[in-house]
Amino acid sequence: MSNVRGVSVSIMGRELTIACADEERESLLRSVNYLDRKMCEIRDTGKVVGTEKIALMAALNITHELLTTDGGGFDIGDIKRTISSMQEQIDVVLGESPQLF
């Protein structure tokens, strides 16, 4: 069972504590960093005023990026299965040839 803890983060200078499972901590921090950069980029243009509007514009931009990444979206489950299969193949090859390096 995973341990859930509060993780302190900062988005556009606002401090937040988010509950997160230990194994998802790094992914959460990468997500926070990405969102913070997007929101700061929007704020720095000076065209959008107010944290709520900046957050909405960032959400729209990120959603657009997600949906247009593969010409209309992608199945994250398929991507995870492909990566898992590739990892298994790598493990098999490394297991057969431990003296590669």
pTM of the model: 0.66
pLDDT at 93: 73
Query: For position 73, what pLDDT does the model report?
Result: 55
Mean pLDDT, to the nearest integer, of 66-77? 65
φ, ψ of residue 15 in degrees (nearest 5): -85, 135
Compute the average pLDDT of residues 12-30: 93
Angle at CA of residue 44, ends 40 and 37, nearest 5° = 20
CATH number of 4-95: 3.30.160.880
**Structure tokens of 44?**
């720095």
Q: What is the mean pLDDT of the segment spanning 59-87?
A: 75
pLDDT of residue 55: 94
User: Can you give the pLDDT at residue 58?
Assistant: 93
| Residue 45, pLDDT score | 93
